[in-house]
């Protein structure tokens, strides 16, 4: 029995075992609070990566897969996972992660590329439990997330994720090692939770400011954030900058500056 790849679920099955092994080996987790952390694999498909994650003795593996046909394939071919109830059939974006008795400090997977941004936003919602992410995604998204200010790939997700995670671009992967080959190139990245519990600013306002400024990415902040800047001195340095020029710390400083302005 084989699983026929379904386009609408972003199914591109990895055919190169060496790359699967390299991804599994990229987990680099040490945390005394988690002697045997659970790794949640998103979108195992037919289990090419699953197989190597299961060989890692330092972690316990759970998987979540939306495609019923793949779930049945996994149940038949990975009986040890099935017998221990480690195969979750469902949509990662919909499941209530808190419902599970244990945390998932590690998230891994060859993500469905069409929803990778939504996956990262959900990870951010659970940033207090998700300590490490190792994943394969579309190369442009990998660059956007791991690049710093001053590059054209830098954007909303870069700022949000870099605020709470140290991000490494590990290696690129070409399209011909997938069945069917995707139209885009891929890359593997690793995110490690930094020690920032809370940003030193109003986090809600920070998120609003980052979003609103990147929504008008080519405009200077004096235009995209005009309503927040009202009444501030003309020489304020941020007025003439564009969002991609601001580091995470600049956005924090800007948030503090503008929040005072809103209160007054
Ligand atoms: N890990 C496999 C498959 C990668 S393709 C491999 O490397 O070969 C992406 C997988 O994610 C597919 O199996 C797809 O069915 C699954 N998927 C897509 N959307 C999902 C969602 N919302 N929640 C869980 N799995 C999802």
| Model pLDDT for residues 220-264, shown as the tens digit of each residue | 999 999 888 887 777 778 989 999 999 999 999 999 999 877 754
Question: 47: Cβ below 6 Å to ligand 1?
Answer: no
Tell me, in angstroms, the distance from the centre of ligand 1 to residue 2's CA.
15
Q: What is the pLDDT of residue 99?
A: 82
Q: What is the pLDDT of residue 264?
A: 47
Q: What is the pLDDT of residue 255?
A: 95
Question: Which atom belonging to ligand 1 lies closest to the Cα atom of 50?
Answer: 1
Distance CA 105, CA 126 (A): 10
Q: What are phi and psi of 229, to 5 degrees?
A: -85, -10
Given a cut of 60, whether residue 187 has pLDDT beyond it is yes
Q: What is the pLDDT of residue 71?
A: 98
Given a cut of 90, whether residue 181 has pLDDT beyond it is yes
Tell me, in angstroms, the distance from the centre of ligand 1 to residue 242's CA.
36
Across 181-185, average pLDDT: 96
What is the pLDDT confidence band of residue 45, given thresholds at 50, 70 and 90? Answer: very high
Nearest to 192 by CA among 117, 263, 105: 105
Question: 70: Cβ below 6 Å to ligand 1?
Answer: yes
Tell me, in angstroms, the distance from the centre of ligand 1 to residue 92's CA.
10
Question: 116: Cβ below 6 Å to ligand 1?
Answer: no
What is the pLDDT confidence band of residue 2, given thresholds at 50, 70 and 90? Answer: confident
Question: 65: Cβ below 6 Å to ligand 1?
Answer: yes
Cβ neighbours for 73, distance < 8 A, ≥ 6 positions apart: 1, 2, 3, 46, 47
What is the pLDDT confidence band of residue 98, given thresholds at 50, 70 and 90? Answer: confident
Pocket test for ligand 1, best of 16, 43, 51, 63 (most atoms within 8 A of CB): 43
**Strand order across the beta sheet in which 165-173 lies:** 87-89, 60-65, 38-42, 106-110, 132-138, 186-193, 165-173
């Amino acid at each position: 029995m084989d699983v026929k790849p379904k386009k609408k679920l972003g199914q591109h099955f990895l055919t190169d075992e060496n790359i699967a092994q390299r991804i599994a080996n990229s987990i680099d987790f040490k945390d005394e609070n988690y002697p045997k952390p659970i790794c949640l694999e998103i979108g195992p498909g037919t289990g090419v990566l699953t197989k190597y994650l299961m060989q890692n003795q330092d972690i316990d593996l759970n998987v979540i897969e939306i495609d019923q046909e793949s779930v049945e394939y996994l149940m038949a071919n990975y009986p040890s996972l099935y017998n221990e109830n480690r195969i979750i059939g469902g949509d990662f974006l919909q499941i209530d992660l808190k419902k599970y008795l244990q945390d998932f400090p590690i998230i891994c997977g060859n993500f469905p590329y069409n929803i990778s941004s939504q996956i990262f936003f959900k990870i951010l919602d659970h940033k207090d439990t998700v300590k490490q992410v190792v994943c394969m995604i579309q190369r442009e998204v990998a660059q956007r997330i791991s690049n710093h200010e001053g590059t054209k790939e830098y954007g909303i997700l870069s700022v949000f994720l870099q605020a709470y995670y140290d991000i490494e671009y590990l290696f690129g992967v070409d399209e011909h090692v997938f069945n069917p080959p995707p139209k885009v190139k891929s890359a593997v990245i690793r995110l490690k939770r930094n020690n920032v519990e809370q940003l030193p600013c109003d986090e809600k306002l920070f998120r609003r400011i980052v979003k609103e400024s990147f929504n008008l990415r080519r405009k200077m902040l004096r235009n995209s954030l005009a309503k927040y800047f009202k009444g501030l001195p003309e020489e304020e340095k941020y007025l003439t900058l564009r969002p991609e020029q601001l580091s995470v710390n600049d956005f924090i400083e800007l948030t503090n500056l503008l929040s005072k302005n809103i209160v007054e």
